[in-house]
Structures are given as C-alpha cells and as structure tokens.
Amino acid sequence: MTDRTKILVTGGTGYIGSHTVVELLEAGYDVVIIDNLSNSNRDVLDGIEKITGRRPEFVEGDCTDLSTLRNLFTNYPGIKGIINFAASKAVGESVEKPLLYYRNNLNTLINLLDLMPEFGVKGIVFSSSCTVYGEPDVNPIDETAPIKPATSPYGNTKQISEEIITDYIASGAPIKSIILRYFNPVGAHPSALIGELPNGVPNNLVPYLTQTAAGLRKELTVFGRDYNTPDGSCIRDFIDVVDLAKAHVVAMRRMLDGQDTDAIEIFNLGTGRGVSVIELIDAFEKATGVKVPHRFGERRAGDIEKIWAVPAKANEVLGWKAEIPIEETMRNAWAWQCHLAEKK
Ligand code: WQD
C-alpha cells in the first residue's frame, strides 16, 4: 500500500478533469476518478496512463446517486481530498433543460459534502467559473468583484454551489474548501494524448476554431464585431488548461497541508491578459501557419462583452501563475486536433 495521499476526482475523464489527474499523478498523489461518461469516454484513461506511466482507479458512476458515492468511499478508503468537476456545463443547454442542470450539478455537490465528514475527507476543491461575475462593471476583475444575477441556469448552479459550500462550512462542518473561478480554459496537453473532446458541434471558440482549421467545419463565425472593444470582438481571459490543472494541485496541497488557512478560500484563475476573439484567431494562424476561414456574424445571445482576471491573489497566496504563452496553447490545441484526425 503506497503512502501517497489519495484524491477523488469527480468528472476526471472530462477536459479539465483529465488534465488535472495528470498533474496530480505527476505530483505524487494517488487518484480515484468517478465519471458517468456522459460527456467523455473511457479511453481518456489510456492517455493519462501513457503520459504519466500510472493509471488512476476508475469508477463509472453517477455522483447524483448517494449510494454510489457511499460505496466508492467504502471501497476506496483513505480519500483525503476531492476535486469536483462533475457537472453539466453547456450554457445554452442549461436554458433548455434547467432541471437537469440543477439536479446534476447541485445534487452531486450536496452528496459529496454530506459524505465527507463520515469518511474523514478533509477538503474539497470546487470547479467554479468567472460566469458568476456576469458582465463586470470594470475589468480586470479580482475576487471582490460583485456577484451578478446569473444569466443562465448553468451559471446559477455555480453561484448556488458556492453558497452551499459556504453555508455548510459556516454550519460547523469539519471540512475546508478552495473555490477556483476559471476564466476561459483552452488548449490541450503538449503530448497531444488528451485534450478537449466536445460532443457534437462545439459551443466553445477554440474547438470550433481547430475543427474549422482541420476542414471539419466550413468556416468559423465570429459572433459580433460591434462590441465596445478595440477590434469590435469580445474579449476573454484564455487560460491554458495545463496551467489551470497545475493550480488544482497547488490548491489541494495548500488545503490538505497548509497550516491556519481559512476554511474557505476563493481564487480567480486567469492570465490577467484580455485577448479578443479576433486576436485569438490571429494568434492561432501565426503560431501554426494554418489559416482559419471565418466570417463576422451577429452577436450570440447571452455573451458577455469583455471579462478578464486580476490573478494577483492566486499568484501571491497560492504561489501559482499562468505561464504558457497563447501561441504555445494554440499549437497544442492544433496538435490535439491533428491527433484526433489520425485516430479516426
Ligand atoms: C468565447 C468567445 C463567443 C464560438 C463559456 C461559459 C464558461 C465556460 C467557458 C464552462 C465569445 C466567441 C465562440 C464561436 C465565437 N464554460 N465565439 N464563435 O462563452 O466565454 O464561456 O464557456 O465551464 O462558463 O460561459 O466561451 O468559447 O463559448 O466563447 O465568436 O463559434 O468566443 O461569442 O465571445 P464563453 P466560448
């Protein structure tokens, strides 16, 4: 039996989850994944093993079922920390199917929190999102920026989840939590063995962009060029998924090993740089030498005009900083798209 600290990663075969499992294994943790494979597939485990030389334990299961989770904690004793990625995350779909989002995202979290004291689990890292800030009044934004009314059930589940964690800890629950508010995760592992695997037509910019560059889509539509920004397109804080994954390892170590840290801490995870949609397309073309056929269309309902982070708190308190340049991120995203084409 190893004396490695054991971590449960829910949603661990997903995009950010799988990259985080790689970093946890490489940092010397043991990992148990539970995933219902609703938005990922099992062969991600092969990619993780090829990269790290170690295969995480895997349980196919639904975290909204309390007995499934109780059995997991019973069968895998000694789990000290949880990283909770398991959630539905498509903004548009959440508007069409709000109950699916509230049931899946909130019941998952409530079940995990409920079982933690019973099984001696010390802390939970929660995957939140900058979407809780809505359209900021000023940019860049730090963690004190006001939480705005959610613009989608998906965003609302992130806000409510943060409140559930806060209230549960305030009630005296013997656990700690670190809430990580992601900006826009993009890219893929440099090995090109794991990456983003969107089901169907991608909602997000970068997978749609790389599929267009690969000729799988006719052209990319830039949703709006009349925003109040230098080039008229929206601005985001695109953070490399490997930088993001590393932040989870740092957060877990701080939560489990850190002395006299607060029971609940919140961090913005971004680069601190605002990049527009058009600038991202240019960065991709410059970095890869591959053109992206694109047109300028209407704005997309619900889009925020501009949002990017002040990452100072994560830099100073966590000792973590996003380091991967956007051009390298674009090359990795393209290498992953090419790997997918070879796999077909
Ligand atoms: C980015 C920009 C689009 C596609 C959402 C969620 C967030 C998180 C990440 C889950 C926008 C533009 C996009 C396209 C385009 N989700 N765009 N053409 O909306 O910032 O964030 O995904 O964790 O919580 O809110 O990301 O990649 O969809 O869009 O012009 O084909 O790219 O208008 O300005 P978004 P995105």
pLDDT tens for 139-171 read 999 999 999 999 899 999 999 999 999 999 999
Cα gap 129→146, rounded to integer Å: 14
The pLDDT tens digits for 209-247 are 999 999 999 999 999 999 999 999 999 999 999 999 999
Q: Is 184 in the pocket of ligand 1 (CB under 6 A)?
A: yes
> Does 274 have pLDDT greater than 90?
yes
Atom number, ligand 1, closest to the C-alpha of residue 222: 30
The pLDDT tens digits for 74-89 are 999 999 999 999 999 9
Shortest-distance Cα residue to atom 1 of ligand 1: 205
The pLDDT tens digits for 45-57 are 999 999 999 999 9
Angle 31-36-37 (CA atoms, 0-180°, nearest 5)? Answer: 95
Catalytic hit among 29, 101, 154, 208: 154
Shortest-distance Cα residue to atom 7 of ligand 1: 131
CB 8 within 8 A of CB 32: yes
Q: Is 238 in the pocket of ligand 1 (CB under 6 A)?
A: no
> Does 189 have pLDDT greater than 70?
yes
The pLDDT tens digits for 1-23 are 568 999 999 999 999 999 999 99
76 carries an active-site annotation: no
Q: What is the pTM of this model?
A: 0.97
Atom number, ligand 1, closest to the C-alpha of residue 131: 24
Strand segments, DSSP code E, in the chain are 6-10, 30-35, 57-60, 79-84, 123-129, 176-182, 184-186, 220-223, 235-236, 238-240, 264-269, 275-276, 294-297
Shortest-distance Cα residue to atom 18 of ligand 1: 222
> Does 308 have pLDDT greater than 90?
yes
Shortest-distance Cα residue to atom 14 of ligand 1: 205
The pLDDT assigned to 2 comes to 63
The pLDDT tens digits for 103-131 are 999 999 999 999 999 999 999 999 999 99
> Does 205 have pLDDT greater than 90?
yes
